[in-house]
Chain A
Amino acid sequence: MQYDLVAVLVFMVVGVALLAFILALSRLLQPRDPNPAKLTTYECGEQPVGPAWIQFNIRFYVMALVFVIFDVEVVFLFPWAVVFQKLGLFAFVEMMVFLGILLVGLAYVWRNGDIEWVKPLPGPAALEDEKGAR
């Protein structure tokens, strides 16, 4: 199916033009009287503490990695949902196998404690070894 991009183009042009108009208007109308208190970063009325550039917790990265994989999985659910009524049980079994294989990944992540926010430093397997040794 071919789509006409005219509507998208009109949207883009109108959006950019409206933004430029509003910014130009506020530049024309605004009084400019800066002082140090006005120029501070707004943090919900609090005094700003430290810079915005902080080092994130590395667990965000692991979360994002897992999220990418399950995002790709969800993408396959959309065409499946569309053809589901036509293909019936076969498509259902197929998708369940697909989800089942990826659930192994979720189980792996869960077992390793990667989705626990506060996690013990050694993995659960190491803890169990420790218990066995005692």
Chain B
Amino acid sequence: MNQIGFVLLSVLAVGSALSVILQRNPVMSALSLVVTIFSLALAFLSLGSSFVAVVQVIVYAGAVMVLFVFVIMLLDLGRREPFKLTGVGRKILGIAAVAAFLFQISASLSAVGVMGARPPEPLPPGYGTALAIGRSVFTDYVYPFEAASVLLLAAMVGALILAKRRI
């Protein structure tokens, strides 16, 4: 049953991701992206990572989507003519990008050995909960955690400086 759910979620995720790039209206693209993010969150949940699922919704569906919608409204994209992606150069670029992407995916899959792989070991109890993540972050990964705060600080200051150059 969980496998059926996973397949349904994957279809939903891929379908809404297609909708993101096929919609002409940028706000509709943003809404489709919210659907993609939610279906990915549910997929994480079905894989046993409840904390990652919730973070996916809080950070991506919450904060990042707010940023995207603000950028769309800020650039006033709604009234613009849709971009025309034609021309030989762009087609070649697109084909090259798709080829690189497919190569990357097939390389990763063959490295893991998905075909005929042994079934995964059962997860330890409590895997993926906020408790398990908190325990490992605040004991084994103390320095990476503190380094993450410096990274966030640098990201914030850098983004503001880049943004204010245009204001």
A residues engaging B (CB < 8 A)? Answer: 1-6, 8-9, 51, 53-56, 58, 60-62, 64-69, 71-76, 78-83, 86-87, 90-91, 94-95, 97-99, 101-102, 104-105, 108-109, 112, 114
Nearest neighbor of B6 in chain A, beta-carbon distance: A5
Contacts of A74 in B (CB 8 A): 58
Which of B71, B127, B149 makes the CB contact (< 8 A) with A102? Answer: B149
Residues of the B chain whose Cβ atoms lie less than 8 Å from the Cβ of A78? 51, 54, 130, 134
Given contacts A2-B46, A55-B73, 4 further A-B contacts (CB under 8 A): A72-B152, A83-B138, A99-B149, A108-B156
Interface size on B, residues (CB 8 A): 60
* B residues 63-78 touching A (CB-CB < 8 Å): 63-64, 66-67, 70-71, 73-74, 76, 78
Q: Which of A6, A64, A75, A91 contacts B59 (CB 8 A)?
A: A75
Given A2-B48, A71-B62, residue A102 in contact with residue B130 (CB < 8 A): no
Would you call A1 and B74 a contact (CB within 8 A)?
Answer: no
15 residue pairs bridging A and B, Cβ less than 8 Å apart: A1-B123, A3-B46, A5-B46, A55-B76, A60-B70, A61-B163, A62-B167, A65-B159, A65-B163, A67-B66, A72-B152, A79-B51, A82-B131, A83-B134, A109-B156
Within 8 A of A (CB), among B42-56: 42, 45-46, 48, 50-51, 54-55
Which residue of A8, A64, A112 has the most chain B CB atoms within 10 A of its CB atom? A64
Q: Is the CB of B51 within 8 A of A53?
A: no
**Secondary structure of the B side of the interface?**
helix
- Show the binding face of B for A, using Cβ within 8 Å: 1-2, 4-6, 8-9, 42, 45-46, 48, 50-51, 54-55, 58-59, 62-64, 66-67, 70-71, 73-74, 76, 78-79, 123, 125-131, 133-135, 137-139, 142, 145-146, 148-150, 152-153, 155-157, 159-160, 163-164, 166-167
Give the residues in chain B near A73, CB-CB below 8 Å: 149, 152
Are B64 and A68 closer than 8 Å at their CB atoms? yes
Report the minimum CB–CB distance from A83 to chain B (whole Å).
4
Closest to A58 in B: B167
> Nearest-CB distance from B36 to chain A (Å)?
15
Give the distance to chain B from A1, nearest Cβ to Cβ, in Å. 6
